[in-house]
A and B are shown apart, each in its own frame.
Chain A
Amino acid sequence: MLSVSGIHKSFGGVQALADAALDCASGEVIGLIGPNGAGKSTLVNVISGFLAPDAGQVVLDGALLQGRTPQHISASGIARTFQNLRVFRDLTVRQNIEVASLRARQLRRDGPPMLGVDALLETFGLADRMSDAAGALPYGTRRWMEIARAMATGPRILLLDEPAAGLNDEESDRLHQIITRLRDLTRIGVVVIDHDLTFINNVCDRLFVMDQGRLIASGAPAAVWRNPKVIEVYVGPGTGTGATPAVELGG
């Protein structure tokens, strides 16, 4: 399981993360939400090794990972996707996923259950397009491929950075099904960042709400949305306790 605690990170004089935290057990889907600038992406960059935190711990199954390189963290079992899809455009869909599976096949022969390249193509509905160049895929399909590629590294934790951005309702539903299916098949933990709160409420078991670099609430979605601090951040100050925020309608 992933446990992140006490993360501080400043850029110059700006404190981007102040005591940020989250945790995600295997087989769990958690959502990381908060207004723009809350520090969600910074936290994901710290967890995946793109940024070294000033203080705090990132622990995956007992191993300390903070400050390690992205390569090391990826090999340790944390995979991520990017807001801007970084696919290998010249390679076919199948080859994109194959590249990602190379190292995992060597590293984790007897690790947690892993989906093979064919199973991933099937799960993500990419089988009939597997010979197409990845650069030629429509946006939505490219996104499936990027998630499939992250899964091919055989992760224990999958970080999805705005996976629903740019997807239509139908594709969002499909993303929901895919995340649930992946979780059920492999028992990985999934951390989802997204602005689509309907999607987040539907797919996540627990939510972590950030504001100004701090964790302000966490727990089951229904409880989180009753939290006055969360209401204040999302609906505005002075709304008071007990009000039903508009966003909850989506859940």
Chain B
Amino acid sequence: MTEYLIQQLLNALAFGAEYALIALGLAVVFSIMGLVNFAHGEVIAASAYAALLFAGLGLGAPLLVIGLAIAAAIAVSVTLERVAFRPVRNAPVTTGLLTAFGVSIVLQNLFQLLISPRPQAFPALNGLNATWHIGPWAVSSLQVMELVVALLAMLALGGFLGRSSLGIAMRAASRDFATVRLMGIQANRVVAAAFVISGALAGIACVFILARRGGVTPDMGFSLVLKAFVACVIGGFGSLFGAAAGGMLLGFIEVGLLVLLPQEMGGLKEALTYVIVTLILVYRPEGLFGSRRDLGDKEF
């Protein structure tokens, strides 16, 4: 029984860590430029296809694959910003949202047409998925690594935003972009930094998804990004801490329901998850850790 509970706890933590990683990728971009980047999932998928390509070229050593996948995700993320999001940066929020959906659909279809709609096997990272015996318990190495890496990534992000000049500029920009620009800071630099960070987080998430699934599909990122979006909403959109906490909470809700629901009601898991999410929002419309932005006086 204890072992079962520990296993489920680890499950919840690992799922939560994955949602948190992806949610952070959304939140970093949103906090700076108010864009909900629904194409974030396609950054993950593109990074997975890139890893597949590299493995096909003989660059299949696990560490190399991990490095290349993260680098590819950063490159794709920054490219999307340049090509798709920069032209609509000053457009109304809905334009950015629709652009992101458009990019997402175009990329998914490109993957289907140019590669294949069918899953591509990707065994290079299967080695990460082992069973570790810690004391009396058997745990999945992948889950432990995912949790640890997600925590390290969040610490690194926190350190970057708290200490480095660019990080401080990003935090200022997330509050009042216009005034930051008045300080002479180039908007392009701050926005590009947000997409680099978001891409790196997508790459890290991609590595774990690949290792767990052992395959690549065109829509592998999309449903996860929807979950991450929900995590951001629960945590409070725009708040990075909220995104991470919302991701964790979502992991716990899902696994908790799986444990508590009788087997024949397992199909209700998703529905009940969203009922709980809705209830949270009824009582905290701004999310658990969100604050209503002080819009302040934006005239001159």
A binds B: yes
Shortest distance between the CB of A169 and any CB in chain B (Å): 26
Which of chain B's residues have a CB closer than 8 A to the CB of A149? 183
* Beta-carbon contact of B183 and A90 below 8 Å: no
Which of these binds chain B: A2-10, A69-77, A170-178, A184-192? A69-77
* Beta-carbon contact of A89 and B168 below 8 Å: no
* Beta-carbon contact of B183 and A91 below 8 Å: no
* Beta-carbon contact of A88 and B175 below 8 Å: yes
Shortest distance between the CB of A16 and any CB in chain B (Å): 13
Instruction: Indicate whether B180 reaches chain A with its CB closer than 8 angstroms.
Output: yes
Complex interface residues of chain B between 156 and 178 (CB less than 8 A to chain A): 165, 168-169, 171-172, 175-176
* Beta-carbon contact of A91 and B184 below 8 Å: no
Give A95's nearest chain B residue, CB to CB: B168
* Beta-carbon contact of A90 and B185 below 8 Å: no
Q: Mark B170-209, 1 if CB is under 8 A from A, else 0.
A: 0110011001111111110000000000000000000000
Instruction: Indicate whether A98 reaches chain B with its CB closer than 8 angstroms.
Output: yes
Which of chain A's residues have a CB closer than 8 A to the CB of B185? 99, 102-103
* Beta-carbon contact of A86 and B176 below 8 Å: yes
Q: Mark B48-86, 1 if CB is under 8 A from A, else 0.
A: 000000000000000000000000000000000000000
* Beta-carbon contact of B294 and A89 below 8 Å: yes
Option from A45, A50, A82, A102 in Cβ contact (under 8 Å) with B183: A102
A89–B179 Cα distance when bound, in Å, is 12
Shortest distance between the CB of A4 and any CB in chain B (Å): 17
* Beta-carbon contact of A88 and B171 below 8 Å: yes
Instruction: Indicate whether A168 reaches chain B with its CB closer than 8 angstroms.
Output: no
Which of chain A's residues have a CB closer than 8 A to the CB of B294? 89
A90–B169 Cα distance when bound, in Å, is 12
* Beta-carbon contact of B168 and A71 below 8 Å: no
- A: number of interface residues (CB 8 Å): 27
* Beta-carbon contact of B168 and A91 below 8 Å: yes
Instruction: Indicate whether B262 reaches chain A with its CB closer than 8 angstroms.
Output: no
Interface residues of B: mostly helix, strand, loop or mixed? helix
Shortest distance between the CB of A112 and any CB in chain B (Å): 15
* Beta-carbon contact of B169 and A99 below 8 Å: yes
Instruction: Indicate whether A212 reaches chain B with its CB closer than 8 angstroms.
Output: no
Option from B176, B181, B300 in Cβ contact (under 8 Å) with A88: B176
Instruction: Indicate whether B264 reaches chain A with its CB closer than 8 angstroms.
Output: no
Instruction: Indicate whether B267 reaches chain A with its CB closer than 8 angstroms.
Output: no
Which of chain A's residues have a CB closer than 8 A to the CB of B169? 99, 102
* Beta-carbon contact of B172 and A104 below 8 Å: no
Shortest distance between the CB of A245 and any CB in chain B (Å): 30
Q: Mark A54-88, 1 if CB is under 8 A from B, else 0.
A: 00000000000000001100110000101010101
Instruction: Indicate whether B296 reaches chain A with its CB closer than 8 angstroms.
Output: yes
* Beta-carbon contact of B176 and A99 below 8 Å: no
A90–B238 Cα distance when bound, in Å, is 13
Q: Mark A14-54, 1 if CB is under 8 A from B, else 0.
A: 00000000000000000000000000010001000010000
Shortest distance between the CB of B182 and any CB in chain A (Å): 5
Q: Given A45-B300, A50-B300, do A99 and B180 touch, yes or no (CB 8 Å)?
A: yes
Q: Given A82-B300, A90-B171, do A71 and B179 touch, yes or no (CB 8 Å)?
A: no
* Beta-carbon contact of B184 and A74 below 8 Å: yes
Which of chain B's residues have a CB closer than 8 A to the CB of A99? 165, 168-169, 172, 180, 183, 185
Which of chain B's residues have a CB closer than 8 A to the CB of A50? 300
* Beta-carbon contact of A88 and B184 below 8 Å: no
Shortest distance between the CB of A160 and any CB in chain B (Å): 14
* Beta-carbon contact of B182 and A91 below 8 Å: no
* Beta-carbon contact of B184 and A107 below 8 Å: yes
* Beta-carbon contact of B300 and A91 below 8 Å: no
Which of chain A's residues have a CB closer than 8 A to the CB of B184? 71, 74-75, 100, 102-104, 107, 153
Which of chain A's residues have a CB closer than 8 A to the CB of B296? 84, 86
Complex interface residues of chain B between 282 and 296 (CB less than 8 A to chain A): 294, 296
* Beta-carbon contact of A88 and B182 below 8 Å: no
A98–B182 Cα distance when bound, in Å, is 14
Instruction: Indicate whether A218 reaches chain B with its CB closer than 8 angstroms.
Output: no
Which of chain B's residues have a CB closer than 8 A to the CB of A71? 181-182, 184, 186-187
Instruction: Indicate whether A96 reaches chain B with its CB closer than 8 angstroms.
Output: yes
Which of chain B's residues have a CB closer than 8 A to the CB of A82? 300
21 interchain pairs (CB within 8 A)? A50-B300, A70-B182, A71-B186, A74-B182, A74-B184, A84-B297, A88-B171, A88-B172, A90-B171, A90-B175, A91-B168, A95-B172, A98-B165, A98-B168, A99-B165, A99-B169, A102-B165, A102-B185, A104-B184, A107-B184, A153-B183
Query: What 5 pairs across the A-B complex have the smallest Cβ distances?
Result: A103-B184, A100-B183, A88-B172, A84-B297, A75-B184
Other CB < 8 Å A-B pairs besides A74-B184, A88-B180, 4 of them?
A84-B296, A88-B171, A98-B168, A153-B183
